[in-house]
Structure 1
């Protein structure tokens, strides 16, 4: 049985930990609001831009003169998985869920005979080095970024385009956590390169026609010229959105993790306090018995 001194030290240690986790929960809750507003505000633009590009892509006849980000390389052998995680931990299963989704997709692609490469954006994604030590194409250092900006996303997008033009991969997929609520963060996968053409269903086509959005549109310049300018921009926008969603999801997950840790610390303090009181009472009882026994012996 632990001594009274050891129990007292342990109770003090758990109380100190509880203060830290409680403070981290309050900080995460304060940052969550701003990050959530930024993520929600950025969704309409990113979604609309993606829809416009898909619509344009569906109207363009792919040829040798088409932008490579639209036409692709003509192959799908080398698949690049862009894994966006956080730079810090203490957020429950936030990073683990993103990495697990990427690994699951990698295993599926490898089973199909594809070559898988990884582009890491976030320190916590480096755990993939343990499973795929020779498949890491690049590890972007985001440690200096406190709040993601569009320039940070554009730098990654430019690097991806450069590597794509160099023939380092054929298809790129992005993995991140979509913010649903403070309690729910949904691992999400989207195809970044090449842009997928929209394939509307009869129902959506009918709705579009009724709304008048399917009317004849004359582009100046032509569709391919517009796509040449918008495709790299869309890539940066989608990456920026993923970074914003990740940050909001991270603070939500961290707030919940620290809340659970604070409650668990409180439960542990109660159990240790009961054990301490029982041990102390047992020691007092033993001393009283010894005193009484000694007195009777006299």
Structure 2
């Protein structure tokens, strides 16, 4: 049985750990409010942007636009968005595992897969994998800026236009609610009406007819690169909110685990102390009996 001193040291250590996890839970909860607000404010804009592109794309000849060119898929670029920091449960691991499964499935079909990483965790892991990382943006998830999305978006657009890749996929952690964050794929390039709207599209009756000025062709030339940047930005905001929610849940679970460990160790401490007291009493009684004899 461990000594009283050893058990006491463990109890003190777990109490300090519990204080840290409680503090991290509170910080994550505070950050989640801001991150969720930013995500919810930007999400309707990104969805409406996709809807406009889809409406415009349905009225033009896709062969006239390089970013809508559909080619046999032999090379794929996957943009993977993860967090810069850990201590958020299995959140980063789930996204990385989804990226690896996707890459291996594509490789089995004879396709070449490359990665572009946003977030330190994904970059540090995937750069050691068998797949090439062609671009990365790290230390950018705490304060998300459009310029970081534009930098990765430009890499994806240039590689697609130069036919270095035939398809671009975006993988990120979609925020469902505080306890659920889902790794989600979205096809960025080539842009097609079928690929826009996705799960957010709903059938609410007759659709409005828009009149565009100038003509749709000129508008699309300007909006398509913006669409790629906006979708990457939206994915970064979704991942940032998901990260804080996952961290809040993980720290809450860690605090509860500390409470259970403290309960178990306190029982062990009390048993060890009782055993020590009983032994001392037996020694005293034994000594007294010896003196009487």
TM over 0.5: yes
Query: Is contact 1:79–1:115 with CA below 8 Å preserved after alignment?
Result: yes
**Which residues in structure 2 correspond to 1:77-92 (within 5 Å)?**
77-92=74-89
Give distance in 1, aligned partners of 2:143 and 2:85.
13
- State the 1:211 CA deviation: 2.7
Structure 2 counterpart of 1:68: 66
- State the 1:144 CA deviation: 5.0
Unpaired stretches in structure 1, ≥5 consecutive residues: 201-206
Find the partner of 1:172 among 158, 164, 168: 168
- State the 1:218 CA deviation: 5.1
Distance 1:212 1:196, change over 3 A: closer
Distance 1:50 1:199, change over 3 A: closer
- State the 1:198 CA deviation: 2.9
Give distance in 2, aligned partners of 1:11 and 1:98.
36
Give distance in 2, aligned partners of 1:267 and 1:15.
11
Question: In the alignment, does 2:285 pair up with 1:292?
Answer: yes
Question: In the alignment, does 2:38 pair up with 1:16?
Answer: no
- State the 1:194 CA deviation: 1.2
Give distance in 1, aligned partners of 2:233 and 2:40.
12
Structure 2 counterpart of 1:147: 143
RMSD between superposed Cα atoms in Å: 2.0
**Which residues in structure 2 correspond to 1:143-292 (within 5 Å)?**
143-198=139-194, 211=206, 213=208, 215=209, 219-292=212-285
CA offset digits 1:179-229 (Å, max 9, x no partner):
1111111211100111122389xxxxxx68x6352x4x5544332221110
Q: Which moves more between the two structures, 150-159 or 246-255?
A: 150-159
Distance 1:145 1:102, change over 3 A: closer
Give distance in 2, aligned partners of 1:188 and 1:134.
20
CA offset digits 1:117-157 (Å, max 9, x no partner):
11111111132334x234222232x2155221222222221
Structure 2 counterpart of 1:56: 56
Query: Is contact 1:77–1:170 with CA below 8 Å preserved after alignment?
Result: yes
Give distance in 2, aligned partners of 1:34 and 1:211.
36
Give distance in 2, aligned partners of 1:39 and 1:145.
13
Structure 2 counterpart of 1:203: none
Structure 1 counterpart of 2:199: none
| Total equivalences in the alignment | 284
Give distance in 2, aligned partners of 1:290 and 1:145.
64
Distance 1:153 1:119, change over 3 A: same
Could you tell me the TM-score, scaled by structure 2's length? Answer: 0.90
Structure 2 counterpart of 1:96: 93
Query: Is contact 2:82–2:119 with CA below 8 Å preserved after alignment?
Result: yes
- State the 1:271 CA deviation: 0.7
Give distance in 1, aligned partners of 2:256 and 2:272.
24
Task: Give the SS at the match of 2:173.
Answer: strand
Give distance in 1, aligned partners of 2:174 and 2:47.
13
Distance 1:52 1:198, change over 3 A: farther
Query: Is contact 1:116–1:135 with CA below 8 Å preserved after alignment?
Result: yes
